[in-house]
Structure 1
Amino acid sequence: MAEDTQADAQDTFISHLVELRNRLVRAVAVVLAVFLVLVAVWPGPGAVYDFIARPMMIALPGDAKMIATGVITPFMVPMKVTLLAAFIISLPWVLYQAWAFVAPGLYAHEKRLIAPLVISSSFLFMVGVAFCYFLVFGKVFRFIYDFAPNSITVAPDIENYLDFVMTMCLAFGITFEVPVVVVVLVRMNLMTVEKLKAIRPYVIVGAFVVAAVVTPPDIMSQLFLAVPMCLLFELGLLLAPMFVRATQAPEEHPSSTGS
């Protein structure tokens, strides 16, 4: 009997590994398909990089341009940018595959928790990236280069620029997940809304510390990250009670306990 139980457990573990592999293959396949479309069909890696570089080009003085110091950098950097764009476009599908992998082991009320989180996580991450690109980059680059002395020729390296863009977009995308983190903490009974409200001053200080670490050393970019983090924390506090009520198990409702 013990041997049968051990064999069943091993078969279950292997089946989970196979399912995980299949989900990873499906996620990677879509990312690569989008990447190939962007490269071969429309708009091409050069156009994708020009779009990413637009805030910098607007901020640069006169006819200044960025430079490439490596031999293959003019080829590799646009390809990396295009792959990053493909991943962001495919993010809802990637998160859906993660949800589909864990869904069979969840109760019905837990599935009601996961699906909205996948959708909201994808949406908030993209909103964070868009906020960084359309608002933060232009203001920060203009603020920085207004301080450049006239004796300096401003010509950023495209690879360094890509590293900066990826770091900033990732930082804003992740920090815009704050409402999701708050909702999960409350729904999993790890924290209460009252407790989170009580530690609000520490959260505000933490937001400014995180902004100081992940952004350039200028006050403008730090404010652009810290202030939205604080506002999104407040949004999470508003949404958490509604989300908890909507995803309660039947036995958690007061009416089901009898009079």
Structure 2
Amino acid sequence: MADMPEEESFISHLIELRTRLIRALIGVGIVFLCLMPFSAQIYDLLAAPMMAALPQGTKMIATGVVAPFFVPLKVTLMAGFLIALPWVLWQIWAFVAPGLYAHEKRLAGPLIVASTALFFTGMAFCYFFVFRTVFKFIAGFSPKSILPAPDIEQYLSFVMTMFLAFGITFEVPIAVILLVKAGLVSIAKLKEIRSYVIVAAFVIAAVVTPPDVSSQIMLAVPMCVLYEIGIFVARFVAPKEEPVEQA
């Protein structure tokens, strides 16, 4: 019987988690349903950078029977999730916040907002700058005897991979701040391994991006710059070192 309060507390946490998840899914579902009538226009907007690089009059192809229906719906679901992301994060915050200390709440709130803004910034940077550069580069090397006609499913897979890569890349300052705040690494150590981070950034960019130098530079350089920004901001949240007692 002594264990009943702990069991009841655990069950109440599970019920609270389920409630928050259901609310988050309902929010995403409502936005998705509102966007469904515009799924074709949303996909056209996503495909605009590719269409601008293709010869005039060229269109994408759909090799699957149901691909023209399901691919725009997938894009719409992604757009709905991104629009509803503040609501989803609020549900996560409402579940986690009661278990945090006051100083943890003061840090966690700004970090959640900053990480969301940085992820959206990475996606926007990829859409407006990287895609146009990469697609023009690829179209410039295409032989005149070939008429490019990208498949819509492969294009969606490529776009999702690039969005995820640049979105995560722009989270580098948050990762640096959390490592310093947790005391896992010092600012001096981060400066010491700077050269290794630069090499790792270009290796990651070479693996994730298409095989052209421009897109690799567009991913590696922001990663290095954001790493430096993370080091600068981490100075203000780094744990204060206790003075060493002299004998």
Map of 1:4-23 to 2, 5 A cutoff?
4=2, 6-23=3-20
Are 1:90 and 2:90 an aligned pair? no
Q: How does 1:170-185 map to 2 (within 5 A)?
A: 170-185=164-179
- Give the one of 99, 105, 108 matched to 1:114: 108
Of 97, 114, 123, 2:117 maps to 123
Residue aligning to 2:156: 162
Identical amino acids, percent of aligned pairs: 60
Aligned partner of 2:94 among 83, 100, 108: 100
| Residue segments in structure 1 that go unaligned for 5+ positions in a row | 255-259
**Number of corresponding residues:** 242
The answer to whether the 8 Å contact 1:96/1:118 transfers is no
CA distance in 2, matches of 1:20, 1:80: 26
Q: Which runs of 4+ in 1 moved over 6 A?
A: none
- Matched with 1:242 is 236
What are the equivalent positions in structure 2 for 1:158-237 lying under 5 Å apart? Answer: 158-237=152-231
1:99, 1:36 → 2: CA distance?
25
Of 75, 80, 95, 2:74 maps to 80
TM-score (norm 2): 0.94
* Structure 1 match to 2:245: none
Q: Is the 8 A contact 1:59 1:141 kept in 2?
A: yes
Aligned to 2:21: 24
The answer to whether the Cα contact below 8 Å between 2:180 and 2:237 also exists between their aligned partners in 1 is no
Q: Deviations over 1:36-82 (max 9, x none)?
A: 11114xxx000000000000000002211111111111000000001
Partner SS for 2:185: coil
SS of 1:83's equivalent? helix
- Distance, in Å, in 1 between the alignment partners of 2:231 and 2:18 is 37
Give the C-alpha shift of residue 96 in structure 1. Answer: 2.1
Instruction: Report if aligned partners of 2:24, 2:91 keep a CA contact under 8 Å in 1.
Output: yes
SS in 1 for 2:129: helix
Give the match's secondary structure for 2:178: helix
For 1:73 and 1:209, locate their aligned partners in 2 and report how far apart those are by CA, in whole Å.
Answer: 34
TM-superposed CA distance for 1:253, in Å, is: 10
TM-score normalized by the length of structure 1: 0.90
Local SS of the residue matching 1:146:
helix
